[in-house]
Structure 1
Amino acid sequence: MTIISAEQVGNRLNDWRIAIRKHDVHSAKAMYAELKVLLQEMEENQEVLTYYSLLEGKYKLMLYERRGEKLKEQTDLDCPSKTNDLIEYYFYLYKALYASYKRDYASAIGLFEIAEKKLQHIPDEIEVAEFHTKIANLYMLLRQSLVSLHYIQNAIDIFKSHEGYERRLATAFVIAAANYMDIGDFRRAETYYKKALHTAESLNDHFLISQLHHNISILYAEVGKSKKCIDALEKALSHEDYLSSSYFHHTMFMLMKELLSIDERTQALYYFELVKQKHATEKCPIYTAKMNLLYHLYFTNDMAQKARACFAEISILKELRDAEGVCELSALAAKHFEELGATHQAYHFLKEAYHMKHPIIDWRNSNEKNEFIDFRFKHRSFRTNRGYQFIK
């Protein structure tokens, strides 16, 4: 068997790295298959193997972001020796991204800080843009909108000046849009979403277009435009590959929630049955809990039974560390019970939502509790409908 030099494989790994950075799924998949063969024939070289393992992790994260392919539990890698700045940087970046994916945001921030120091030794503008995109996404999830906007604008400026990074530019536009939505600038948010859609349509990337329709539906839900939200969600679900991706669950959850918000119960029930069949073969515990809660909230008649069932699903979401889901659905349940005149149940769900946003909250006296019960729900009392796609 012919032995292939480590340098030759290393050069091909660099090509793979560029395809991954561009989110060029087709090329990256072809190179992945090729590299698995090359590595079996390569001379022994631990540095190249480490480089490959880190890129493989980034590749699988890219497939999750770009195609909704599920991520399996990752194998911990040993910290590389101080021999290669790029490998060291990728080590900490990958660990930060995976920590963020696992919702371990405290660890993710620390790892991003280390990665940022390593990045200073890498004279590559696209790597800087990618890093800024990833950390902007993290700060967006943590509602640090102004910090996130600072990072993402830097990324947008860089991606705009390089050909072949249109998909990354679309990603950056979505992060900018989400931040503007968080600070209440809905006009600018819609502008950025439309820029992203225009970019995806120019690439004729139908899966990306579906993702972007899902993302813009979040804006329409936020401003109370249910018809436009439902239309965008149905467009997202019109692509066959999208239906088989992990993103299907969140889009379907949003669709059912929006249908129920305008009392389209018959259509919502139809979708409930579809999802129930899918969950029978494809386990998705977070969205199973979310959809069960919706079902009990709108279709269980006995008030006490309804409240118990909804609290049970909230408990499951807590165990799964879905703080966003707990906050959103507790607030939704509180609003629903208030509308039914069940103030006592509404208070408990609203308190749950506030505990999730402000963990130190504590009722010192009955006046505080009564004031809390008297709170009247506003559309933007709680941020809802989060779960942006391909920017995790």
Structure 2
Amino acid sequence: MDQVLPSSHVGVKINEWYRMIRQFSVPDAEILKAEVEHEIKEMEEDEYLLIYYSLMTFRHQLMLDYLDPEVKYRTDRPTIIELLDKIEKPQKTLTGLLKYYSQFFRGMYEFDQKQYVEAINFYRKAEMEIHFVTDEIEQAEFHFKLAEAYYNMKQTHVSMHHILKALEIYDRNPLYTVRKIQSLFVIVGNYLDFKHYEKGLEHLEEALKLSKESGHKRLVSSALYNLGESYHYMGQEEKAETYLKQAIEIGKEMKLRTLPHSYYSLSIVLFKQKKTAEAGQALKEGLITAVKYDDNLFCLLTEFLYVLYAEPINQDSLVEILSKLENIHMYSYVEELTLLTANFFKEMKDFEIATFFYDKMVESQLQIQRGDCLYEY
């Protein structure tokens, strides 16, 4: 008679698998995933451990999608949508740590889809179960993901509160360099929103150094992108252009999903320098990558720049695109685009239209300030 493995043995291995996922150690995570899949077939029946396994498979695929969107690791793997359906079915019966993971991982998925309000709603549901989490790295993960989502919704003070909590834990754990670097990026973004550009640059220098040392080209690209954005905010467009182009080169080499964002920022920097032809080419490349990666947000943003800079100006079309962004609560981009547009018309000496878009900018800032009202309790 074949010996039946105790579920506790498999549970320990799943925990180790999750540890490798959080460290972005793909080879180790792949090995442990294969071992767990083999041992589950020989395990005593345990409904909750099977749910835990399904949740971790979902989290594993989120890691792979982040690191390599070009299907490198996805042969014969279920899709995220298939996995999502699988973990949604037992939702009503979940309690404790499993319920925490189900809500937390779903929030991560919604964030990846740029559904930031939905992401925060799921994170808040996860927070109701966080007292079951005793592992400090998991607590850091939770604070990091909340900070990331709140940053994208321009809830700057809340984001900074959570990211400093996360960074304090990652600093104590040298195996989590990737998350430390990503935490520095969130801090830099918040400093940009606070208009403390020099403080942001200090953190970016450390992030770029750590990224190069770790050999993660994706993170090097992100560091270069953030340097470009910082110099853009400081009005140093030539420096911004240099860093953004470097970020794009790595993005093209690695086929990163951040490419539409990089092209969008580069287009703005080039238009501000009156490099119209080059900016138009960047817009074209950005739209191609946004469509390729099914990035509806950056399709909208690119369309807006086309209407503003590359076509005969149509105010109604600009307002229509802004309305679409407002409908998905992208007020941070509405704020950026309305200021850009107002300044554009101000340069054209069309002060009436400039004033209209300045007013739209103030409206978007008010919506950002009311941001907490978007989230369900």
Q: Is the structural similarity TM-score above 0.5? A: yes
Alpha-carbon distance between aligned partners in 2 of 1:8 and 1:66, rounded to the nearest angstrom: 29
Give, in angstroms, the shift of residue 105 of structure 1: 5.2
> What per-residue deviation string (whole Å, max 9, x for no partner) do you get for residues 149-204 of structure 1?
33322222221222311111111112222222222222211111111111111111
State yes or no: 1:328 paired with 2:336: yes
Q: Is the 8 A contact 2:110 2:116 kept in 1?
A: yes
User: Partner of 1:378 in structure 2?
Assistant: none
Map 1:24-63 → 2, pairs under 5 A = 24-32=25-33, 35-36=36-37, 38-39=39-40, 42-63=43-64
State yes or no: 1:309 paired with 2:320: no
Give, in angstroms, the shift of residue 111 of structure 1: 4.2
Taking a change above 3 Å as real, the CA distance of residues 241 and 324 of structure 1, as seen in their structure-2 partners, is same
Consecutive unaligned residues in structure 1, runs of 5 or more: 362-392
Map 1:200-215 → 2, pairs under 5 A = 200-215=211-226
Give, in angstroms, the shift of residue 297 of structure 1: 1.4
Q: Is the 8 A contact 2:221 2:250 kept in 1?
A: yes
Q: Is the 8 A contact 1:3 1:43 kept in 2?
A: no
User: Partner of 1:137 in structure 2?
Assistant: 148
Give, in angstroms, the shift of residue 42 of structure 1: 4.8
Q: Secondary structure at the match of 2:20?
A: helix
TM-score where L is the length of structure 2:
0.81
Consecutive unaligned residues in structure 2, runs of 5 or more: 72-78, 370-377
Over aligned residue pairs, what C-alpha RMSD do you find?
3.2
> What per-residue deviation string (whole Å, max 9, x for no partner) do you get for residues 53-105 of structure 1?
2223333333444445799554335336566x432321232234345455655
State yes or no: 1:196 paired with 2:217: no
Alpha-carbon distance between aligned partners in 1 of 2:52 and 2:195, rounded to the nearest angstrom: 42
Taking a change above 3 Å as real, the CA distance of residues 313 and 134 of structure 1, as seen in their structure-2 partners, is same
Q: Is the 8 A contact 2:252 2:259 kept in 1?
A: no
> What per-residue deviation string (whole Å, max 9, x for no partner) do you get for residues 183-239 of structure 1?
222221111111111111111111211122112222121111212211111111222
Aligned counterpart for 2:240 among listed residues 205, 212, 229: 229
Map 1:88-237 → 2, pairs under 5 A = 88-101=99-112, 108-109=119-120, 111-237=122-248
User: Partner of 2:74 in structure 1?
Assistant: none
Taking a change above 3 Å as real, the CA distance of residues 155 and 216 of structure 1, as seen in their structure-2 partners, is same
Moved more, 342-351 or 168-177: 342-351
Give, in angstroms, the shift of residue 348 of structure 1: 3.0
Q: Secondary structure at the match of 1:162?
A: coil
Amino acid at match of 1:19: M
Which structure carries more helix by proportion?
2
Amino acid at match of 2:187: A
Alpha-carbon distance between aligned partners in 1 of 2:316 and 2:69, rounded to the nearest angstrom: 33
The number of residue pairs the alignment matches comes to: 357
Q: Secondary structure at the match of 2:91?
A: coil
Taking a change above 3 Å as real, the CA distance of residues 236 and 131 of structure 1, as seen in their structure-2 partners, is same
Q: Is the 8 A contact 2:21 2:29 kept in 1?
A: yes
Alpha-carbon distance between aligned partners in 1 of 2:2 and 2:271, rounded to the nearest angstrom: 64
State yes or no: 1:17 paired with 2:25: no
User: Partner of 2:373 in structure 1?
Assistant: none
Amino acid at match of 1:310: L
Moved more, 135-144 or 105-114: 105-114
Give, in angstroms, the shift of residue 277 of structure 1: 4.6
TM-score where L is the length of structure 1:
0.78
User: Partner of 1:265 in structure 2?
Assistant: 276
Amino acid at match of 2:197: F
Point out which structure has higher relative CO (alpha carbons under 8 A, 6+ apart). Answer: 1
User: Partner of 1:292 in structure 2?
Assistant: 303
Q: Is the 8 A contact 1:137 1:148 kept in 2?
A: yes
Alpha-carbon distance between aligned partners in 1 of 2:97 and 2:253, rounded to the nearest angstrom: 34
User: Partner of 2:346 in structure 1?
Assistant: 338
User: Partner of 2:364 in structure 1?
Assistant: 356
Alpha-carbon distance between aligned partners in 1 of 2:150 and 2:323, rounded to the nearest angstrom: 26
Taking a change above 3 Å as real, the CA distance of residues 285 and 127 of structure 1, as seen in their structure-2 partners, is closer
Q: Secondary structure at the match of 2:132?
A: coil
Stretches of 4+ aligned residues off by more than 6 angstroms: 1-4
User: Partner of 2:76 in structure 1?
Assistant: none
> What per-residue deviation string (whole Å, max 9, x for no partner) do you get for residues 16-39 of structure 1?
100111122343345445545555
Q: Secondary structure at the match of 1:358?
A: helix
